[in-house]
Structure 1
Amino acid sequence: MTTVQDLYDARVAAGALKPDDAQIAALPALERIRAALAEPPRRGLFRKAPEPPKGLYLWGGVGRGKSMLMDLFVETLSVPARRVHFHGFMQEVHAEMHRLRKDGVEDPIKPVAKAVSDDVRVLAFDEMQITDITDAMIVGRLFERLFAAGCVVVTTSNRVPDDLYKDGLNRQLFLPFIELIEERLEVRELASDRDHRQDRLQGTQVYFTPSGPEARAKIDALWEELSHGQEEELVLHVKGRQVELPRFHNGVARASFYDLCARPLGPADYLKIAEVLRVLILEDIPQMGSHNFNEAKRFVTLIDALYEARVALVASAAAAPEMLYVEGAGSFEFERTASRLREMQAADWGG
Structure 2
Amino acid sequence: MGYVIDRYEARIGSGQLTPDPVQAEAASALDDLAHRLANRKTGGWFSKAETVTGLYMWGGVGRGKSMLMDLFFEHAPVAARRRVHFHEFMAEVHDRLDAWRRLTPDERKRSEWRVKGAGDDPIAPVAKQIASEANLLCFDEFQVTQIADAMVLARLFDALFERAVTVVATSNRHPDDLYKDGINRPLFLPFIDHLKTHCRILELASDRDYRLDRLIEAPVWYAPLGPEAETALEAAWDRLTLGAEPQHCVLTVKGRKLDVPREAAGVAWFSFEELCARPLGSRDYLAIAANFNTVILSGIPKLGPENRNEAARFVALIDAFYEARIKLVASAAAEPEHLYPEGDGSFEFERTASRLHEMRSTDYLAEARVEIDVDAPRD
Query: Normalised by the size of structure 1, how large is the TM-score?
Result: 0.92
Asked if the contact 1:261/1:296 (under 8 Å) is kept, the reply is yes
Determine which of 137, 145, 151 is the counterpart of 1:137. 151
1:297 aligns with 2:296: no
RMSD of aligned Cα (Å) = 2.3
Q: What's the secondary structure of 1:137's corresponding residue?
A: helix
The 5 Å alignment of 1:29-178 reads: 29-39=29-39, 41=41, 51-80=50-79, 81-104=81-104, 105=108, 106-178=120-192
Query: Normalised by the size of structure 2, how large is the TM-score?
Result: 0.85
Q: Distance in 1 between matches of 2:45 and 2:92?
A: 36
More displaced, 338-347 or 175-184? 338-347
Read off the aligned partner of 2:19 and give its amino acid letter: P
Read off the aligned partner of 1:16 and give its amino acid letter: Q
Q: Distance in 1 between matches of 2:352 and 2:316?
A: 9
Asked if the contact 1:211/1:316 (under 8 Å) is kept, the reply is yes
Measure how far apart 1:166 and its partner are.
1.2
More displaced, 325-334 or 224-233? 224-233
User: Measured at CA, do residues 51 and 297 of structure 1 come closer, stay the same or move farther in structure 2, by a change above 3 Å?
Assistant: same
Asked if the contact 1:86/1:128 (under 8 Å) is kept, the reply is yes
Measure how far apart 1:174 and its partner are.
0.8
Measure how far apart 1:25 and its partner are.
2.5
Q: Distance in 2 between matches of 1:41 and 1:294?
A: 59
User: Measured at CA, do residues 100 and 42 of structure 1 come closer, stay the same or move farther in structure 2, by a change above 3 Å?
Assistant: closer
Measure how far apart 1:226 and its partner are.
4.1
Read off the aligned partner of 1:98 and give its amino acid letter: D
Q: Distance in 1 between matches of 2:172 and 2:146?
A: 16
Read off the aligned partner of 1:310 and give its amino acid letter: R
Determine which of 335, 346, 349 is the counterpart of 2:361. 346
User: Measured at CA, do residues 305 and 162 of structure 1 come closer, stay the same or move farther in structure 2, by a change above 3 Å?
Assistant: same
More displaced, 2-11 or 339-348? 339-348
Q: Distance in 2 between matches of 1:240 and 1:51?
A: 37
Number of the residue aligned with 2:338: 323
User: Measured at CA, do residues 295 and 73 of structure 1 come closer, stay the same or move farther in structure 2, by a change above 3 Å?
Assistant: same
More displaced, 245-254 or 86-95? 245-254
Asked if the contact 1:40/1:49 (under 8 Å) is kept, the reply is no
User: Share of identical aligned residues, percent?
Assistant: 53
Asked if the contact 1:88/1:235 (under 8 Å) is kept, the reply is yes
Read off the aligned partner of 1:342 and give its amino acid letter: H
Residue deviations 1:274-297 (CA, integer Å, cap 9, x gap): 111111111111111112222212
Q: What's the secondary structure of 1:142's corresponding residue?
A: helix
1:242 aligns with 2:241: no
Residue deviations 1:163-198 (CA, integer Å, cap 9, x gap): 111111111211111111122111121111111122
User: Measured at CA, do residues 40 and 238 of structure 1 come closer, stay the same or move farther in structure 2, by a change above 3 Å?
Assistant: closer
Read off the aligned partner of 1:143 and give its amino acid letter: F
Asked if the contact 1:203/1:347 (under 8 Å) is kept, the reply is no
Q: Distance in 2 between matches of 1:208 and 1:259?
A: 19
Q: What's the secondary structure of 2:190's corresponding residue?
A: helix
Measure how far apart 1:202 and its partner are.
2.8
Residue deviations 1:122-150 (CA, integer Å, cap 9, x gap): 11111110111111111111111110111
Q: Distance in 2 between matches of 1:82 and 1:68?
A: 16
User: Measured at CA, do residues 70 and 230 of structure 1 come closer, stay the same or move farther in structure 2, by a change above 3 Å?
Assistant: closer
Measure how far apart 1:15 and its partner are.
1.0
More displaced, 174-183 or 223-232? 223-232
What runs of 5+ residues in structure 2 fail to find an aligned partner? 109-119, 369-379
Q: Distance in 2 between matches of 1:63 and 1:29?
A: 19
Read off the aligned partner of 1:299 and give its amino acid letter: F
Residue deviations 1:210-252 (CA, integer Å, cap 9, x gap): 2123322332333345454733332222223322222222321
Q: Distance in 2 between matches of 1:273 and 1:281?
A: 12
The 5 Å alignment of 1:240-319 reads: 240-319=255-334
Q: Distance in 1 between matches of 2:63 and 2:176?
A: 20
Q: Distance in 1 between matches of 2:354 and 2:167?
A: 43
Q: Distance in 1 between matches of 2:163 and 2:49?
A: 13
Q: Distance in 1 between matches of 2:191 and 2:45?
A: 34
Q: What's the secondary structure of 1:138's corresponding residue?
A: helix
Q: Distance in 2 between matches of 1:49 and 1:198?
A: 46
Q: Distance in 2 between matches of 1:232 and 1:184?
A: 26
Number of the residue aligned with 2:11: 11
Q: Distance in 1 between matches of 2:124 and 2:92?
A: 15
What runs of 5+ residues in structure 1 fail to find an aligned partner? none
Q: What's the secondary structure of 1:246's corresponding residue?
A: strand
Number of the residue aligned with 2:117: none
1:220 aligns with 2:234: yes
Count of residues in correspondence between the two structures:
350
Asked if the contact 2:70/2:244 (under 8 Å) is kept, the reply is no
Measure how far apart 1:315 and its partner are.
0.8
Asked if the contact 2:41/2:50 (under 8 Å) is kept, the reply is no
Q: Distance in 2 between matches of 1:62 and 1:196?
A: 8
Measure how far apart 1:40 and its partner are.
5.9
